[in-house]
Amino acid sequence: MNMVKSIVIMIIFSIGSRCLGFIREMLIASRFGSGMETDTFFIALTAINLVTTMIYQCLNTTMIPVLSEIENKELSKNNYTNKLLNNILLFSIILVILGWFISPLIIKVLAAGFKGEQFYLAIKLMRIGLPAIILAVFIGIYRGYLQSELMFTEFSASLFPYNLTYIFFLIFLSGYFGITGLMVTSVIAVGSQIVIQLPGLKKVGYQYRFILDFKDKYIKKLLLLSIPVIISVAVNDLNMVIDKSLASTLIEGSISALNYSSRLNSLVLTVFITAIATVLFPMLTSEVTTKNHEGFKRLISNGVNVILLITIPATIGIIVLAQPIVKIAFERGAFDPVATKMTSAALLFYSLGLVGMALRMFLERAYYSLQDMKTPMINGIITVGLNITLNFILIRYMEHRGLALATSIAITITTVFLFYRLTRKIGSIGGLNIVKCGIKSLGASLVMGIFVYLLYNFLNAKVLGNTLFELLVLLITVAVGAGVYFVIVYLLKVDEISWFIKLFKKKLYR
């Protein structure tokens, strides 16, 4: 019951924060469009995000098992967290200084097509964004600490101040400070997330102390666990970097099209799948610690089925509604119909990998709970190799669309191998039941897709040209489509849907 409550709360917070995120992206598109400046900004931001994401993921993944072990031995989690924080902070300061000097080299690697003014602007923006790395250390460590205490709300709520910082700048200050001010804002936005963490830290009794101890055995253990995680996260992010680097050689606006479409595609991942994976990770770790193998496998099976039930209809929905989604989300101001066409095409091909991306995110957590960091790392390296190969093949025929399709194919294929390897490691996890669930979901999604296509085109024909009514039509279509899908999978007697309804009724009667 607590698991479901945590997931629901995270989803609610995520939906609210993602709505603000949409407003943020809409304002960026409106104020700056899809051209040279935004291409440059997104490349510089990618360089910074590579490091900050690595810090978030690495600390969040490795801290929970280590803190669980420390707690079982009745040692001080507070002292350990402070030692880790101060050690990593020292390293991050050195990293920022190094990043300042090697930023020209990094931009050359990330954006081979940038020349002259655009190249120097990218260097300037990257250097402005470097302090975000230091702030990410605080956020990553405190997030891992809070989640080890089964406190998950901060993770979703942290994006509220993040997005509001952007929105304030874009509405009131973007006209004065331009693209440079936008990068400064990105640093402030990262730092604003710490404010959300403070009440939770106070509640669990955390107190900061300056402690440096490079010889602590748990620090050493975390660092050893971190090495394959860092490599794994880095190679996963390389897919995005390689796409944008190759896109820099295409027509202007290609990088922005990939960025905007990737953000839209990741909405399902960040709202629903991240909530499921985040809440289940400490539980998977607990099952491993107590050697409850059947409970561990049951959690994985249920998690995979829930992910399929969410991502398969989402994929069909995006395929059917890609163009109106992009048009309504971004087409205004400097974002013209050409940008809409480019972005919606990339979104369609990114969506084909949505199921693989979601399952990969969850299955990696399962491996991490087993303290197997090596398998996801190797799988990630294979993914990058396959992605690079497909990139060079497909970009010749499909331009930026080929880059999106290559990413989807590479991730889907290697996720299948990741799943297969897990079954070899722990035994059967109800593969037949998972296949049945997937087939039922696909059948229901196809029926939903046909219904959504007909309904949207019928309603949209009545309000063509009115953006507000087009938005209303899209929302109605999505809501009705979701209702149709839910009814069909319920009639098909999908276990997870029946379980959820029973749980909801039980909660309602209470």
Residues 47 and 3 in one domain: yes
Same-domain pairing of 333 and 352: yes
Residues 304 and 340 placed together within one structural domain of the fold? yes
pLDDT at residue number 126: 95
Question: Cα dist. 406→179, 231, 255, 396 in Å?
Answer: 30, 21, 15, 12
My answer on whether 134 and 105 are in the same domain is yes
Name the token pair of 196: 């959300």
Whether residues 245 and 255 fall in one domain: no
Instruction: Please give the span between the terminal C-alpha atoms of the chain, in angstroms, as a whole number.
Output: 13
Q: What pLDDT is attached to residue 239?
A: 67
CB of 403 closer than 8 Å to CB of 391: yes
Question: 285 and 236 share a domain?
Answer: no
- SS3 state of residue 211: coil
Of 443, 463, 498, the residue at which a domain comes to its end is: 443
Residue 204, Cβ neighbours under 10 Å: how many? 13
In a domain, 349, yes or no: yes
Chain centroid offset of residue 105 CA? 27
Measured between alpha carbons, how far is 340 from 325 in angstroms, rounded to an integer?
Answer: 9
Is residue 164 in some structural domain?
yes
Task: Find the length of the chain.
Answer: 510
Integer Cα distance of 278 and 65 in angstroms: 13
Residues 317, 222 share a domain: no
> Which of 341, 268, 320 shows the shortest CA–CA distance to 455?
320
Total of domains in the chain: 2
CA dihedral sign, ordered 145, 147, 148, 151: positive
Q: Is residue 491 part of a domain?
A: no
Is residue 492 in a domain?
A: no
* 296 found inside a domain: yes
Mean pLDDT of successive 10-residue segments in the chain (510 residues)? 61 74 82 82 86 78 74 71 88 93 90 86 95 91 82 76 93 90 95 90 87 78 76 69 77 79 76 67 69 81 85 91 85 77 90 90 84 84 90 88 91 92 86 88 93 89 72 88 89 71 52
Contact between 438 and 301 under an 8 Å Cβ cutoff? The reply is no
Is residue 124 located within the same domain as residue 165?
A: yes
Instruction: Determine, yes or no, domain membership for 294.
Output: yes
- φ, ψ dihedrals at 77, nearest 5°: -65, -35
Euclidean distance between CA atoms 12 and 17, whole angstroms: 9
Its domain, for residue 121, covers 1-249
Taking alpha carbons only, the member of 163, 165, 197 closest to residue 60 is 197
Total-model pTM: 0.71
Query: Buried (b) or exposed (e) across 440-471, using 16+ Cβ within 10 A?
Result: bbbebbeebbebbbebbeebeeeeeeeeeebe
Q: Which pLDDT belongs to residue 1?
A: 46
| Shared domain check, 379 and 232 | no
The verdict on 128 and 102 lying in the same domain is: yes
- Give the Å distances, CA to CA, from 134 to 89, 158, 190, 488: 7, 17, 10, 49
463 occurs within a structural domain: no
| Domain-ending residue, one of 249, 275, 293 | 249
Element (H, E) at 341: helix 337-351
391 and 280 in a single domain? The answer is: yes
Give the residue from 384, 418, 443 where a domain finishes.
443
51 domain residue, yes or no: yes
Give the relative orientation of helices 467-491 and 293-330 as an angle to the nearest 10 degrees: 160
Q: Same structural domain for residues 190 and 64?
A: yes
